[in-house]
Amino acid sequence: MTLDEERAMVRKETLVSTLPNAVISALFVWLLFGGQPTVPLWGPAGLAVDLLPTTLMLTLMTTIGLTLLVRHRRRRGSPPAHGSNWLPRHPLLRGLMLGALMLVLFVPVSVALLALVWGADWSFATVLVFKIGYGVLLGWVVTPIVVRAALRDSG
C-alpha cells in the first residue's frame, strides 16, 4: 500500500467514524442523564465521572471494530502498509491499551477545561452537545491510530 493510499484510507475511515461516535455518545448521555433537567460537573452522577467510561468504551469499540474491519479488507486484497506497529495485535488488548492512553490524555484535560468554564449545572441539551462533540473528537484521534496499526498487522 502506498503512503497516499494509506492516507486516503485513514481520512475515509475517520470521516465514517464521525456518525457512529456521535450516535453512541448521544446514547450514553441519554442512558446516564436522560430525564434530568440539569447535570452537575462533580459527583458520582456528574459529567466529570462520566467521561471515564465514555472515553474507555468509545475507544474500545472503535478499536475492536476498525481493527477487525481493516483486517478483513486486507484479507480481501488490500496490501499491508509498511512500518512498525507499537500496539498489541489482539483487538481487545489493543483497545484496552488505547483506552488507557486516551483516559490519561483526554479526561484530565477535558475536566480541567470544564472546571474553567463551568458556572452552574448544565442543561441536558448542553451536556448532549458537549458529549457528542467529545465523542467525535475522540474518534478523530483514535481512528487514524487504529487504522494505521491494523494496516501494519502481520498475517
- Measure the CA angle with vertex 38, ends 34 and 43; round to 5°: 90
Q: What is the mean pLDDT of residues 124-151?
A: 95
Whether 1 shows a pLDDT value over 80: the answer reads no
For residue 44, which amino acid is it? P
Confidence tier at 85 by pLDDT (50, 70, 90): confident
- Measure the CA angle with vertex 12, ends 11 and 17; round to 5°: 100
pLDDT of residue 105: 96
Following DSSP, what letter does each residue of 74-86 receive, concatenated?
HHTTPPPPPS---
Question: How do the domains of the chain map onto residue ranges?
Answer: 3-152
Kindly report, residue by residue over 97-133, the tens digit of the pLDDT.
999 999 999 999 999 999 999 888 999 999 999 999 9
Q: Is 81 left (phi over 0), alpha (psi -120 to 50) or beta?
A: beta
Whether 95 shows a pLDDT value over 80: the answer reads yes
Q: What is the mean pLDDT of residues 27-51?
A: 91
